[in-house]
Chain A
Amino acid sequence: MTTDNTVAAPASSPMPLVYVRNVHKSFGHLEVLKGIDMEVASGEVVTILGPSGSGKSTFLRCLNQLEPIDKGFIMIDGEQAGYKLQDGRLVKLRAGEVRRQRRKIGMVFQQFNLYSNKTALENIIEAPVTVHGETREEAVAYAMELLKKVGLDDRADSFPRQLSGGQQQRVAIARALAIKPKLILFDEPTSALDPELVGEVLETMRDLATQGLTMIVVTHEIGFARDAADRVIFMDGGVVVEEGKPEDVLLNPQQARTRQFLNRFIRA
């Protein structure tokens, strides 16, 4: 069954962790993604830049199957997201199998979305205990380690409302790390923060970037893209316009649309 589900890796290069081909997504008549191709290797840190409304959030949500896609396909860790090949036919997965696939992916939201009825520690151990079947002791021990890593081990028993935005987002990052994900998705993790709190969250993310985690980060923080990313992808109008090494895309963009977008930041 599982062998059906994995795609044989090409002989020369190993299958990338994320492999996206010709993904289309519409909301009603509005086509938001118009054929996205993307590959992300294991351990790679990729930032996605692009103007508002270009479909960045929608794309991340498709990767985690929070939105269904209309056309194309997404492979994550050798499995097709939401579908499987069975007897030469492509079959939609059941809800339980979709949940199993999602468990490999951590997600950090723009609005944090920490469970407001749970303390910081409870937020972090929730998925490991109830979804991944870890014992409470293991989960708490690892959660405290993660809280220390994001500099909040003294706030383990605080409820989200009692934390600043930056602290909440750091807890949310710890929550995403707690499930030992193969891939972490960040959707504008600093956009809802007061300017003086952005630094602490970016600092935490820079740390992660150096530790071999696979990260896809949608952000407007050009500085983070420049310093921490292995690759920058520029999206506009539902397509990937340009991608490459940060220094190439940011300093020497080939496409007019990329230049236009970056100019706004340079002027600002």
Chain B
Amino acid sequence: MSDGAAVTAAIAEDDSLRDVAHAYKPLPIVRGLVWLVIGLIALKVLVVLAQNRNFGWGIVGEWLTEASILRGLWVTLWLGVVSMALGVVLGLFLAIGRMSKDVLISSLASVYIWFFRGTPLLVQLIFWYNLSYLFPEIVIGIPFGPTLASWNTNDVISPLTAAIGGLALNEAAYMAEVIRGGLLSVDHGQIEATQAFGMSPFRALLRVILPQAMRAIVPPTGNQFISMMKSTSLVSVIAMADLLYSVQAVYNRTFEIIPMLLVAVFYYLVITSLLNVGQGFIERYYGRGERDAAGPAKAAQAPEG
């Protein structure tokens, strides 16, 4: 008893010292070393980059704002955005198709995804570009019935349509799986509630299921989008004047290969960085309902806990 009291008194003396709010941190030795080593390496890299004249930073600066390069950048930008948008929309239909109870529809979607994911994008692009070898005419009509309209394939398939078509159809196969994964992540109770209240499947998808699936869909879609912006560089093989093509056009004349590639790298990095920022905003928007309310909810529960 008296022992206990003595101990308590001793502790009481230290009370003010023991407040963790005023504690000192030990020096972070290991972390400091790591920072030092990495800092040194980074410095060395910078020096090498600056001193090696073959990088041609001056040339990079000159060509960065050249009209032909900016035109190429513009083509890359909208080609990527348009193809991605088409890919997402088609991918949504494919995802719904794959989840359909109808065997015909789900197998069709599966076959599509199997084919377009299973063959190289470069091959698909060249294929669309050369479609006229297979089908000299494109015909719209009723199968085995009358023809409604027909075009010469070479008039329809320009580098532009081949590029958009190729990129979008390929992207759709990947987006279908991304979106399907998102839809599957939604709690079944949510779907049941929409049914119980007499919502149509379409409305339930639009108003309840898809918004919740977005949390799982957005991060991999960001990946896909970034990948798409870089895949657009493949269209230079079908004579589409995108960023890479414009850069190549210059270094084929001037032989300043590395500086010109650095120009392209610079812009690809700018584009993907902007996409990262955009993704962050979208994720925050769809995370709304998940966010723990530090405010009123906690306060209301406090008396019980």
Contacts and interface: CB of A to CB of B under 8 A. Distances in A.
B288 interface: yes
B54 interface: no
A163 B296 CA distance: 9
A175 B203 CA distance: 17
Given A102-B198, A103-B198, A161-B290, A109 B300 contact: no
Interface residues of B, number: 29
A162 B296 contact: yes
A164 B211 contact: no
Contacts of B196: 64, 66, 102, 105, 107, 109
Nearest to A179: B197
Given A115-B190, A116-B289, A117-B208, A164 B301 contact: yes
Contacts, number: 94
A194 B187 CA distance: 22
A158 B294 CA distance: 12
B193 interface: yes
Given A117-B211, A179-B197, A158 B297 contact: yes
Interface string A65-94: 010000000000000000000000000000
A127 B192 CA distance: 14
Nearest to A96: B200
A107 to B, nearest CB: 4
A100 B203 CA distance: 14
Contacts of A155: 296, 300
A105 B196 CA distance: 8
B34 to A, nearest CB: 39
A196 B301 CA distance: 11
B274 interface: no
Contacts of A163: 297
A159 interface: yes
A131 interface: yes
Interface in B178-212: 187, 189-190, 192-200, 203, 207-208, 211-212
Nearest to B211: A117
B13 interface: no
Interface string A153-182: 001001111111001000000010001000
B212 A116 contact: yes
9 contacts: A66-B196, A113-B189, A113-B190, A116-B290, A130-B199, A161-B292, A161-B293, A167-B300, A175-B197
Interface of A: 64, 66, 96, 99-100, 102-103, 105, 107, 109, 111, 113-118, 126-127, 130-131, 155, 158-164, 167, 175, 179, 196-197
Interface of B: 187, 189-190, 192-200, 203, 207-208, 211-212, 286, 288-293, 296-297, 300-301, 304
